Chain A
Amino acid sequence: MDAKKGDWVRIHNIVLEKGERAPNLPEDTQNVPLEVWDKGFLLNDKANIGDKVVVETYIGRKVEGTLIEVNPYYKHNFGKCVPEILYIGKQVRGLIEEDGE
């Protein structure tokens, strides 16, 4: 069992299948479904990843979806070192130091 009632989880759904997408979209977008993600407290007594579940979102809506993550957290960060930008600070500081205005 991956999650029990009351756990904070992330769920996933398909809003529109690829044949149901709006017209005048670029072909690459036409060929993929429209997907949605939401989070909430699990309302089922227990569930495993991949199960159809119902959650209560933080503001109290009930939403159905496929359980994909328990205790979801953010993984975005401050990136890696980008050596290409290291010249900028030295360059602009150097330029305004030269013989005043």
Chain B
Amino acid sequence: MVKDISFEAVMARKGEIMKKAIGIDYDIFESGNIAFDYERMMRETGYSLQEIEDIQKETGVGNTPVLELRNLTKLARKFAPAGKGARIFIKDEASNPSGSFKARRAATSCYHAKRLGYKGVIAATSGNYGAAVASQAAMRGLKCIIVQECYDSKGIGQPEIIEKARKCEAYGAEVVQLTVGPELFYTFLVLLEETGYFNASLYTPFGIAGVETLGYEISMEFREREGKDPDVVVITNAGGGNLTGTARGLIKAGATDTQVVGASVSLHGLHMASDTQFNKKSFTTGHTGFGIPFATWPDRSDVPRSAARPLRYIDRYVTVNQGPVFYMTETLAQLEGMERGPAGNTSLTAAFKLAQELDRDQIVVVQETEYTGAGKHILPQLTFAKENGIEILIGDPSEEVPGKNIILPKDPSYIKIEEIDLNRTRRSYIRNCIQNSNVDKVTKEDLEFLVADTKSNEKFVKMILDEFGVEY
């Protein structure tokens, strides 16, 4: 029987296609209302931390070095009040086989796909995750397709994304490249159905559990070398998986006093699905265009229930502007001899400022780096920005307008962070839960779920429910 592959017909088969491609029946975790059993989903469909360590060891993933950034700490102290200026460390995740922490997520997904007998894996990603899946698939003898949103309607591609396509092909993957638009999901579904491959989504329990080892390693490393857990771990936040996995790993290690800070590049005002604004972005990930929508509605992802739920774990969420991230990328190379990023240096930029608030004996950890290459480097990205009419200025980055200019800080004192009001983000999430499940009354189970999923309390959730006229 030839299947109807029209847009409407394929989208209508979404649930069925997904079930086959992930091998998880998400319905068994559902309550029929807002709540679902998150921990049960993570337990029953994921792997234990020990199992994941073993899986990752098989393909050379994890146990990446932690480096103390002594010169950067010295620089931060120059701009900190007396007695302030925490020690800054970085976990060099670029040492993973594909050059980023995403290898952790891909390792478990590919292992699982192989174990279940799938012949190949597919991932929809324009980022480092594509290279990670392609690399892990190569090691496991699986075929691989990566679907990217890459070009605008003039056929001009983001250099950073083109580099990732190259890297995927280097590992033997097929790369399907599209122009801007969320209908990429349709192409993705058609490919899943045609090939019968595994959906190596970023948001399955396997993927997120794969990041738990990162948080766990950080805690173990610091207990061994400094005799304590880090005070703050800063995590670049986009889809929420990096933050969720790392925080869960820290909790599994017992590092419950460590503050988990998310950081995103502010791309305020740019529309993510806009054809003309696509190439006005100088960051393709780690930005608020993913960070905020995924925090306020994690289940927008390519699986029915996302295992990445950042609001469950985040203690503080800050944004930085583009100019300071480029400045800090250059600084990391010039002071620490490490060429990494730029996008991965979002958390580094936030850490530089956060360290200035903390005492000198405190420890702040930047939990990832990513590889640098052609297209994916400060020079090509700024060159591309200029070609797209973005002005590169030196001054006060707080005046930066995304899509119009990039303002490099005049000096490091101009590197600032902006706080995101997490209660506003939590409120948006609760509102989305209400709207998307179309309820006027929540159950006791829903109430408990909303408290846990927003890391808040019953009083707060009830206040929001009252505001929207929802009974409990």
Contacts and interface: CB of A to CB of B under 8 A. Distances in A.
Contacts of A76: 159, 162-163, 166, 374-375, 380
Interface string B411-440: 110000000000000000000000000000
B170 to A, nearest CB: 10
B231 interface: no
Q: How large is the interface on A (under 10, 10 to 19, 20 to 34, 35 or more residues)?
A: 35 or more
A93 B335 contact: yes
A89 B177 CA distance: 37
B145 interface: yes
Interface in A67-101: 74, 76-82, 84-85, 87-89, 91-93, 95-96, 101
Interface residues of B, number: 66
Contacts of B195: 61
Contact of A101 (B77, B169, B176, B273): B77
Interface string B69-97: 00100110110000000000000000000
Interface string A44-72: 00000000000001111100000000000
B394 A84 contact: yes
Contacts of A25: 181-182, 273
Contact of B382 (A34, A82, A91, A92): A82
A21 B181 contact: yes
Contacts of A26: 271, 273-275, 277
A86 B274 CA distance: 33
Given A39-B174, A79-B377, A92-B75, 19 more contacts: A25-B182, A32-B153, A32-B179, A33-B153, A36-B177, A36-B178, A37-B177, A38-B174, A58-B172, A59-B145, A76-B162, A76-B163, A76-B166, A78-B374, A79-B381, A80-B379, A85-B408, A88-B334, A89-B331
Interface of B: 7, 71, 74-75, 77-78, 120, 143-145, 150-151, 153, 155, 159, 162-163, 165-166, 169, 172-183, 186-187, 194-195, 271, 273-277, 326-327, 330-331, 333-335, 374-375, 377-384, 386, 392-394, 408, 411-412
30 contacts: A15-B178, A15-B186, A16-B183, A16-B186, A22-B182, A29-B274, A31-B275, A32-B275, A35-B153, A36-B176, A36-B177, A36-B178, A37-B176, A38-B176, A58-B172, A74-B162, A74-B163, A76-B159, A76-B374, A77-B380, A78-B379, A79-B379, A79-B382, A81-B379, A85-B330, A85-B382, A88-B334, A92-B412, A93-B334, A96-B75
